[in-house]
């Protein structure tokens, strides 16, 4: 057995030595002044390391790639678009094989900030900005707890990519922000406020998929970040309940339900969040009505569990169901009804003020007024 392991080790060493010689020939081209030579060098490295049978020997590839990592990464900022594209692709392929992020992150993150995190657009190609954004998301997913070391850099990148002219980059940035928030909530809450402004800038984007992505990102950023910004975003979310896209209205409904169930100190915000959920009970789309009703049920059950002692006596003397109880609400949940007795005056005042402002808002406030 020992002899077999020794032979295996010798074979692996010979393979690494042979591969290093081949890669060295290609790596010499990476610093050449001729653009075609740099391109040929990158293509050669990709062919030798990530194509064919060798790609399955990840440990060998990882060892050999480290010798060219710095040179390859520098080409992310190459003046030639094709070279930049190949360099990014090489890094992406390497990330699929390695779990040693202690050497990867210091090499790559500064270039992400350089290309994506500046006030002016440095990377002119929309496709490459998207590719770099996807690379950022991949790094955030893979490195997890190490994200705290590069949080400032990731925030700089997200502040710019969330308002990028290319809508696909904005969608990817929303995805990245959500993953980042969830991965390191203990650190993220210190920086979350800096993402609110760029997120709100994109919440009315012309592409409905961007609006949906922004709403989902806001939900995660405030769930794991500083929830004092709920006050800043509620009015913008309420506007999205007028959206022509059902997907956008559904996203707001789910966000309101999630916050009412999970947001820290959520009872402080119920009088602002509950109207979002109640408005969806009268949405023109039955599926959104049903989604809102299910969330209403879950919120009520959660309230009953968390206030069991206070609600016990009231459950024993439950009043009759109101005459015009919404049909979409199949089961009465005493928890949320009890809570309403304390905040109804504030909700009614909000409806009355909204009724006076524009016909579209009146169209939404009247059904809400009836439900209350």
Range of the domain at 240: 230-314+323-372
Does 7 have pLDDT greater than 60?
Answer: no
Q: Decide if pLDDT at 19 tops 60.
A: yes
The answer to whether residue 104 is domain-embedded is no
**Does residue 155 lie in a domain region?**
yes
State whether 241 and 271 are in the same domain: yes
For residue 71, is pLDDT > 50? yes
Same domain, 285 and 168: no
Same domain? 256 vs 352: yes
192 — pLDDT class (breaks 50, 70, 90): very high
CA distance 47 to 149: 33
Tell whether 243 and 192 lie within a shared domain. Answer: no
**Domain check: are 80 and 190 in the same one?**
no
The answer on 244 and 148 residing in a single domain is: no
The pTM for the full model equals 0.85
Token pair recorded at residue 277: 């959920």
Each residue's pLDDT tens digit, 251-271: 999 999 999 999 998 888 877
Find the DSSP H helices in the chain.
Answer: 2-27, 35-50, 58-65, 69-74, 81-95, 101-116, 126-143, 151-161, 167-183, 185-188, 193-202, 208-224, 230-240, 246-262, 270-280, 286-306, 308-316, 334-355, 359-371
- Specify if 105 maps to a domain: no
pLDDT reported for residue 97: 87
pLDDT digits (tens, 9 = 90+) for 322-333: 555 555 555 555
- Residue 235 shares a structural domain with residue 142: no
Say if 8 falls within a structural domain: no
Q: What is the pLDDT of residues 216-243, one digit of tens each?
A: 999 999 999 998 899 899 989 988 988 9
**pLDDT tens-digit map of 57-68:** 778 888 889 889
Residues 239 and 346 in one domain: yes
284-321 pLDDT tens trace: 899 999 999 889 888 888 877 877 666 555 555 455 55
SS3 content of the chain, % helix, strand, coil (to 5): 80, 0, 20
Say what the pLDDT of residue 322 is. Answer: 58
| pLDDT at residue 372 tops 60 | no
Mean pLDDT lowest among 42-51, 272-281, 320-329, 349-358: 349-358
153 and 216 belong to one structural domain: yes
pLDDT tens per residue, range 152-178: 999 999 999 999 999 999 999 999 999
Residue 157 and residue 260 in one domain: no
User: 260 with 357, same domain?
Assistant: yes
């Amino acid at each position: 057995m020992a002899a077999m392991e020794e032979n295996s080790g010798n074979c692996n060493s010979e393979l690494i030595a042979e591969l290093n010689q081949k890669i060295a020939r290609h790596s010499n081209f990476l610093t050449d002044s001729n653009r075609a030579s740099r391109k040929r060098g990158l293509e050669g490295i990709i062919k030798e390391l990530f194509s064919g049978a060798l790609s399955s020997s990840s440990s060998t590839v990882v060892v050999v790639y480290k010798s060219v990592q710095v040179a390859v990464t520098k080409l992310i900022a190459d003046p030639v678009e094709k070279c930049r594209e190949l360099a990014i692709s090489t890094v992406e392929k390497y990330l699929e094989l390695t779990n040693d992020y202690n050497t990867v992150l210091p090499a790559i993150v500064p270039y992400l900030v350089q290309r994506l995190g500046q006030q002016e657009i440095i990377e002119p190609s929309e496709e490459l900005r998207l590719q770099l954004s996807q690379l950022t998301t991949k790094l955030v997913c893979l490195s997890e707890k190490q994200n705290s070391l590069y949080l400032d850099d990731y925030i700089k990148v997200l502040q710019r990519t969330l308002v990028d002219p290319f809508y696909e980059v904005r969608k990817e940035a929303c995805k990245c922000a959500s993953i980042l928030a969830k991965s390191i909530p203990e650190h993220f809450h210190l920086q979350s406020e800096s993402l609110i402004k760029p997120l709100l800038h994109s919440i009315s984007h012309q592409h409905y998929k961007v609006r949906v992505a922004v709403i989902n990102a806001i939900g995660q950023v405030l769930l794991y970040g500083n929830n004092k910004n709920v006050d800043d975003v509620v009015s913008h979310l309420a506007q999205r309940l007028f959206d022509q896209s059902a997907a956008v209205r559904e996203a707001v409904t789910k966000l309101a339900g999630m916050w009412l169930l999970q947001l820290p100190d959520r009872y402080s915000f119920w009088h602002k969040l509950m109207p979002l959920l109640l408005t969806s009970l009268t949405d023109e789309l039955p599926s959104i009505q049903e989604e809102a009703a299910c969330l209403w049920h879950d919120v009520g059950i959660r309230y009953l569990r968390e206030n069991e002692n206070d609600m016990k006596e009231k459950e024993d003397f439950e009043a009759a169901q109101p005459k015009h109880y919404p049909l979409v609400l199949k089961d009465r949940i005493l928890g949320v009804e009890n809570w309403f007795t304390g905040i109804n005056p504030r909700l009614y005042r909000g409806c009355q003020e909204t009724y006076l402002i524009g016909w579209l808002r009146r169209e939404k406030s009247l059904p809400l007024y009836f439900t209350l």
